[in-house]
């Protein structure tokens, strides 16, 4: 097992402990996935990390020097959040895991009772179709009838929703609700295998329902072609026994969680980012909810979305299938669910790890004295208005259009064009004559730039270059302009031979 290899490597390192750095934070520690430390407590170890890699500090600690609440710290796979986490002692060879949230009850949730005693009968045709299930003692005729009587809600038909929809339909779930208002686009096809090339431009809900219905014509599908909101969530979720959360944004994550807790529904959760995934079951059999794990969302923009950070196309197949498995097990009432366990999957190193989760007695939703008793404004909770305000501030920063920049370059103006994307993006497409310094490394290389020069910053679409522009301005650069719309707009307006990605 890889675990054994990890332990062996610690023993060889003179009793040092190590900190595992998750993908979103590696950009702040020169790309390392592991940092070795010599400290005796968790607090000292994290301060040692910050001393060597100061850029990671604001991601781990707030202005008061306290560990941020959306960052969970584990020592040897044990959640130390409700202990004196900074004072937790490290022994030789301890492994500290930092697990930030990725864009992913006081009274025990009732055991799912699928419309008993009137479980639906199976026809001879269904008995043949599900024969490989029926001969499993853990499923059998009764289990298959439970699946037929079950009602499962899928929130989202994207990367996670694709395997979910396919396998839940095939497994014989009787009724599946789908919530989605998005349209299939070309960039979805690399991972959202429930949709095909012919579906580009169609509503995802139509395309997904068609595929699922083809797999299982007996399946009843409820289409909810809408965004899930605080106004409709309780009404929609109330109709189902199990909710499977396959969304891609924090406001909907918290909305689904709170609605599940308020209604007493289990939530099969999964999230993906680049090469890593997380899965668990929230609010089931007295286990924790999403807010127990992540009491508050990360500030907008801190954790990149899959659109910004990328995602391995096959990754959601694994995580979505785990969610589907958990949903089926909950309906069957068999096996050990992932409730109380966070499963972490690292596709790049092909490694599964498991961390224990506990219900937080002080959780505002599922704790002993809950303060959240109805759905709230989740956009506001996740700081989205704040993001809008930042964007508005960004609007006032100087911008240049691609065609204006092209004219200036053609005139021979002395303009320094700085590309702040990642090297692999630079390889896909670049504007000739530009200099590449990825945003994450900009603070380290800033002294190489002339602070009085006329600088135009660009990225893919203008968001990262806006951050770079603000950063440079804070560091005393006076003439920094953002290329509006990035290289995508440059391709549209100046040079269509540059590929868009």
Contact pick of 292, 303, 311, 483 for Zn ion (by CB under 5 A): 292
Of 306, 363, 366, 382, which one is the catalytic site residue?
306
CA–CA separation, 251 and 248 (whole Å):
9
CB of 363 to Zn ion, least distance (A): 3
Cβ distance to Zn ion smaller for residue 165 or 288: 288
Q: How many residues contact Zn ion, by CB under 5 A?
A: 5
Question: Would you give the binding string for Zn ion spanning residues 420-459, x where CB under 5 A is met?
Answer: ----------------------------------------
Cβ distance to Zn ion smaller for residue 152 or 366: 366
CB of 289 to Zn ion, least distance (A): 3
**Closest to 143 in 3D by CA, of 126, 155, 125, 165:** 126
CB of 105 to Zn ion, least distance (A): 7
CB of 72 to Zn ion, least distance (A): 13
363 is catalytic: no
Selected range binding Zn ion among 116-124, 200-208, 284-292, 373-381, rule: CB under 5 A:
284-292
How many Cβ atoms from other residues are within 10 Å of residue 468's Cβ?
25
Residue 54: exposed, middle, or buried by beta-carbon count in 10 A (0-12, 13-18, 19+)?
A: exposed
366 part of the interface to Zn ion, by CB under 5 A:
yes
Crossing angle of helices 315-332 and 140-149, rounded to 10°:
110
CA–CA separation, 337 and 151 (whole Å):
18
Map tokens 């590929």 to a residue: 499
CA–CA separation, 5 and 66 (whole Å):
33
233 part of the interface to Zn ion, by CB under 5 A:
no
Query: Token digits for 150?
Result: 């079950």
291 part of the interface to Zn ion, by CB under 5 A:
yes
289 part of the interface to Zn ion, by CB under 5 A:
yes
Question: Does residue 128 contact residue 118 with C-beta atoms inside 8 Å?
Answer: no
Question: Does residue 459 contact residue 482 with C-beta atoms inside 8 Å?
Answer: no
Query: 334-363: which residues touch Zn ion (CB under 5 A)?
Result: 363
306 is catalytic: yes
CA count, 13 A, side-chain hemisphere, 320: 28
Cβ distance to Zn ion smaller for residue 73 or 292: 292
Selected range binding Zn ion among 12-20, 53-61, 235-243, 292-300, rule: CB under 5 A:
292-300
Three-point CA angle 218, 220, 226, nearest 5°: 150
Catalytic site residues?
Answer: 306, 459
Applying CB under 5 A, the residues found at the interface with Zn ion are: 289, 291-292, 363, 366
């Amino acid at each position: 097992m890889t675990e054994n290899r990890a332990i062996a490597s610690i023993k060889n390192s003179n009793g040092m402990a190590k900190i595992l750095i998750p993908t979103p934070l590696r950009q702040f520690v020169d790309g390392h996935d592991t940092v070795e430390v010599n400290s005796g407590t968790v607090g000292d170890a994290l301060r040692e990390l910050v001393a060597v890699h100061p850029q990671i500090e604001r991601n781990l600690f707030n202005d008061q020097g306290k560990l941020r609440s959306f960052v969970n710290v584990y020592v040897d796979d044990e959640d130390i959040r409700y202990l004196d986490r900074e004072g937790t002692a490290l022994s030789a060879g301890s492994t500290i895991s930092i697990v930030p949230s990725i864009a992913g009850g006081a009274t025990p949730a009732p055991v799912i009772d699928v419309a008993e005693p009137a479980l639906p009968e199976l026809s001879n045709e269904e008995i043949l179709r599900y024969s490989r299930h029926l001969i499993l003692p853990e499923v059998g005729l009764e289990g298959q009838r439970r699946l037929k009587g079950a009602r499962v809600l899928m929130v989202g038909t994207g990367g996670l929703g694709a395997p979910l929809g396919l396998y839940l339909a095939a497994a014989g779930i009787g009724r599946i609700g789908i919530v989605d208002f998005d349209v299939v686009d070309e960039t979805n096809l690399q991972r959202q295998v429930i949709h095909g090339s012919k579906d580009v431009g169609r509503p995802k809900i139509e395309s997904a329902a068609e595929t699922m219905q083809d797999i299982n014509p007996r399946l009843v599908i409820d289409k909810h072609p809408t965004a899930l909101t605080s106004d409709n969530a309780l009404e929609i979720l109330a109709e189902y026994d199990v909710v499977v959360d396959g969304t891609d944004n924090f406001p909907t994550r918290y909305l689904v969680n709170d609605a599940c807790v308020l209604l007493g529904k289990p939530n099969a959760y999964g999230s993906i980012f680049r090469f890593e995934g997380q899965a668990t079951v929230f609010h089931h059999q007295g286990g924790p909810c999403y807010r127990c794990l992540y009491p508050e969302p990360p500030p907008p923009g801190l954790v990149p979305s899959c659109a910004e950070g990328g995602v391995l196309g096959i990754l959601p197949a694994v995580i979505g299938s785990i969610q589907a498995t958990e949903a089926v097990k909950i309906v069957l009432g068999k096996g050990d669910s992932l409730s109380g366990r966070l499963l972490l999957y690292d596709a790049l190193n092909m490694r599964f790890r498991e961390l224990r989760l506990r219900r937080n007695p002080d959780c505002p939703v599922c704790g002993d004295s809950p303060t959240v008793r109805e759905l709230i404004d989740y956009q506001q909770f996740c700081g989205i208005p704040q993001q809008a305000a930042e964007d508005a501030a960004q609007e006032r920063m100087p911008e240049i259009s691609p065609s204006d920049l092209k004219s200036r370059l053609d005139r021979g103006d002395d303009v320094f064009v700085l590309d702040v994307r990642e090297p692999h993006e630079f390889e896909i497409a670049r504007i000739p004559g530009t200099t590449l310094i990825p945003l994450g490394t900009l603070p380290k290389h800033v002294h190489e730039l002339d602070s009085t020069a006329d600088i135009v910053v660009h990225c893919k679409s203008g968001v990262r270059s806006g951050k770079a522009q603000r950063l440079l301005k804070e560091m005393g650069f006076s003439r920094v302009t953002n290329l509006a719309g990035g290289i995508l707009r440059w391709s549209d307006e100046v040079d269509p031979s540059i590929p868009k990605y």
